[in-house]
Amino acid sequence: MAGPRRDTRGIVDAPELFARVRFRRRLPYAEPLRRYVEHYWLIDWDLDEPYVTHVVPHPSVNLVFQRYGNGTEPGPGAGSGSGFGELAGIGLELFTRKLAGAGRVCGVQFRPGGFRPFAPGRPVSHWTGRRLPHTEVFPDPSGTAAGTGTAPGAAGGCGLLSVPGSAGAPAAVLEPAEEDERIAALDAFLLAAGPEPDPRADLAMDLVHRIRTDRSVRRVAEFAAAEGVSVRTLQRLFTAYVGVGPKWVLLRYRIHEALERATGERAVDWPRLAAELGYSDQAHLVRDFTATVGVPPTAYAKPDESGGGRPGPRPRPA
């Protein structure tokens, strides 16, 4: 892989977000981690006015270290100054977060299927729809709040990195002023977690990659038959290693593509796009897009004439 992907799939109104925050994607320095990690994602902001961001989650588990300077966000350790860490399973609904004041996030987006080797004791579906303190998933083996150890790998691929205990990880990742040091700290944390090679995880990652990149994959039954397995076998593999079923993954990537097209400058031929994405008609695409993003695709594709960006997702009825 030459570098992290550059698309904005999943980010609702990405231009508006990028106008307010500094957003980057980086690959791990440590080569062994690249088979499991899609990319690291880094966000820094210092806002005069609050901004609400929305994301249509990928079928990926995320490990997120975050710090909010004004302490307005909920979470273990929020507002403490050192930040806090969360393990976020696959989000089934639109993810919304209010950004205010100054803050920083350093996240790990695992490849779909790539998280299980870090927590092999449970199926990935166990984490789906959940957000919990990272220490519940990555316990500190030293038994102290700031135990340290060493892990191979550094920015240059040699030497040993000091690895904080799990409880000390948020500060170790978030505090360095240099971005490269934050990347190295994420590498050290993940290497210390000791991912266990698993051929079934590799298979799951390969299958999801095919669903994402191969437009000919439109039906789960046909996909399973092409792989020489039953639909039930494919579903069990995805439940254990991805966290959601193959149909959910297929539908989510369709919405990501539609969202990306709608955010572009060119007018979208919606009937044609629906056919390209495997929908039987435009109405089904409109239904799925509206249910996921919160507004119809034609409304989303038309920027607010007042200069306030695109129409935001409407609150779901109680």
Q: Model confidence over 10-58: pLDDT tens digits?
A: 999 999 999 999 999 999 999 999 999 999 999 999 999 999 999 999 9
Query: Which string of DSSP letters, residue by residue, matches 34-61?
Result: GGTEEEEEEEEEE-SS-EEEEE---S--
For the chain, percent of residues with pLDDT exceeding 90? 70
In which band, very low, low, confident or very high, does the pLDDT at 82 lie, cut at 50, 70 and 90?
A: confident
Pairwise CA distance, residues 59 & 9, whole Å: 12
What is the DSSP code (8-state) at residue 11? B
DSSP classification of residue 124: G
Residue 153's φ and ψ, nearest 5 degrees, are: 105, 140
- Is the per-residue pLDDT at 263 higher than 50? yes
Does the pLDDT of residue 153 top 50, yes or no? Answer: no
Beta bridge partners of 164: 148
In the prediction, which pLDDT does 311 show? 58
Strand ranges of the sheet holding 102-110, from the earlier edge strand across to the other edge: 22-26, 37-46, 102-110, 62-68, 84-88, 131-133
Question: Counting every residue, how long is the chain?
Answer: 318
Domains of the chain: 14-193 (no CATH), 199-300 (1.10.10.60)
The tokens describing 239, both together, are 């439940």
Q: Is the pLDDT of residue 296 over 70?
A: yes
The pLDDT of residue 194 is above 50: yes
- CB atoms closer than 10 angstroms to residue 72: 14
Question: Residue 173's closest CA among 273, 84, 92, 286?
Answer: 84
Give me the pLDDT at residue 125, please. 98
What is the rounded distance in angstroms from the CA atom of residue 124 to the CA atom of residue 113? 8
Q: How far separated are the first and last CA of the chain, in Å rounded? A: 44
Q: What was the pLDDT predicted at 79?
A: 45
Tell me: pLDDT of 275 over 70: yes
Global pTM value: 0.87
* Residue 70 binned pLDDT confidence (cut-offs 50, 70, 90): low
Per the CB < 8 A criterion, the answer to whether 30 and 75 are in contact is: no
Can you name the residues that pair with 85 across neighbouring β-strands?
A: 65
Q: According to the model, what pLDDT value does residue 146 have?
A: 35
| Beta-bridge partners for 45 | 103
Q: Give the tens place of pLDDT for each residue, 97-132.
A: 999 999 999 999 999 999 999 999 999 999 999 999
Do 173 and 157 contact (CB within 8 A), yes or no? no
Residues facing 84 on adjacent strands: 66
pLDDT (0 to 100) of residue 301:
84
CA distance linking residue 21 with residue 104, whole number of Å? 10
What does 63-100 look like in DSSP terms, one character per residue?
A: EEEEEETT--S-STTTTSSS-EEEEE---SS-EEEEE-
Considering the chain, what is the average pLDDT of its residues? 86
With the CA atoms of 11, 15, 19 and 22 taken in that order, what torsion angle do they form, in degrees rounded to the nearest 10? Answer: 40
Residues 6+ apart with CB under 8 A from 242: 59, 90, 112, 113, 124, 204, 208, 249
Any idea which residue has 């957003």 for tokens? 23
Find the helix or strand (DSSP H, E) in which 133 lies.
Answer: strand 131-133
Q: Is 133:79 a contact under the CB 8 Å cutoff? A: no
